[in-house]
Structure 1
């Protein structure tokens, strides 16, 4: 006798928090997690009011399972207050996706201390600020999924991105260390390293350089946000508990390694 849908175990209703949640990758990550029956909270700066309004229209068909909360991931107290609000309104945070990120490109000879520190505060400090404020609760409850968005450029380096490449490499180093600290507590910590994707950040690159990038990608195209979001959903699943400290490259073959 075939197992019926009614006899299958119900999917646990869990709260997922996605930083950078209204960005090109973040929005699709929110959608994918919502389709997996997660209660999703998208986090971004309140100052991006026009983009927040567009985001709410984009996710309106999810019947309220995707909500927006403002916070500045570069500020520890803002993150602490965010987690307190989310837990009060929606319940404990079971899944954290750190997708917030910025670029401040310049060759090192021309890079200002401000360009370095601004990027580090968002791309690397933001991961610490968010993880530090959820990890106690996750370990106490015996369940957690943390997925940190790194980058292929954290693996290969990129001209004009010493700050970005250093931060993204640091994200995976952080993830491996935290994975060791939490592995016996039911909490997994992994990274996803996207390659070049069809997002506003890549669209800002000149057409000539973008064409060269695509020519260097073995599959012959830019990634879609859904390509990245599916990888995040996989690592955030309840039954992904035996994968931790891993980096999942999603780059179309742009960079391959063991």
Structure 2
């Protein structure tokens, strides 16, 4: 697989770490404090086709690599699909960013991460009916694990709990604990990438979501679905993953 994810941090967070970013400038300005930035239209910013990223608290302007394929499974409130929307014209010719047919915590986190990075320009969403089971040397056909193990997707947008992953799952995926961790209850929720994925690039998405947690955006999304509007946004009978996070998303 050649398509990989590059993590783009929120501009607000970048400004917090580096005051020069998005500051006024001119052609003679010295921008050496920021790696790879330059002066465009009187503003210190990243060149075209690059976006701001924080890696271990260092600022970079990094290449944007698009996510081409997302495989997901309905699991309220993490992933919510709208059947009537999917069967209508609204589902046609829409990128993962624009599609009105999918919502939920995972999609909101992904789209929030994409607001500055624009890595969902031309991706497709494939919904499957199960996470998949490994039997007789093969995964359940057309499942999340089938897509990940067979390199049919760039991202498995479904909830995995790392402490409970079987050896068969671990052999097929890179797990990224991007949502919540609680060692007291042996819980580390996250998403999965194919093993063929560049592990460093997968880790960068982890860092990107961590930035959202630090700025409070991830907590706002959790609050929306579990506290504020939860009863009207999702159905308990469609919840596969029963874990309910605390009001504030903590990391351990």
Structure with higher strand content: 2
Fold shared, TM-score > 0.5 on shorter chain: no
TM-score, normalization: structure 1? Answer: 0.30
Structure with higher helix content: 1
- Which structure would you say has the larger RCO, counting Cα contacts within 8 Å and 6 or more residues apart? 2
TM-score, normalization: structure 2? Answer: 0.30
Q: Which has the larger radius of gyration?
A: 2
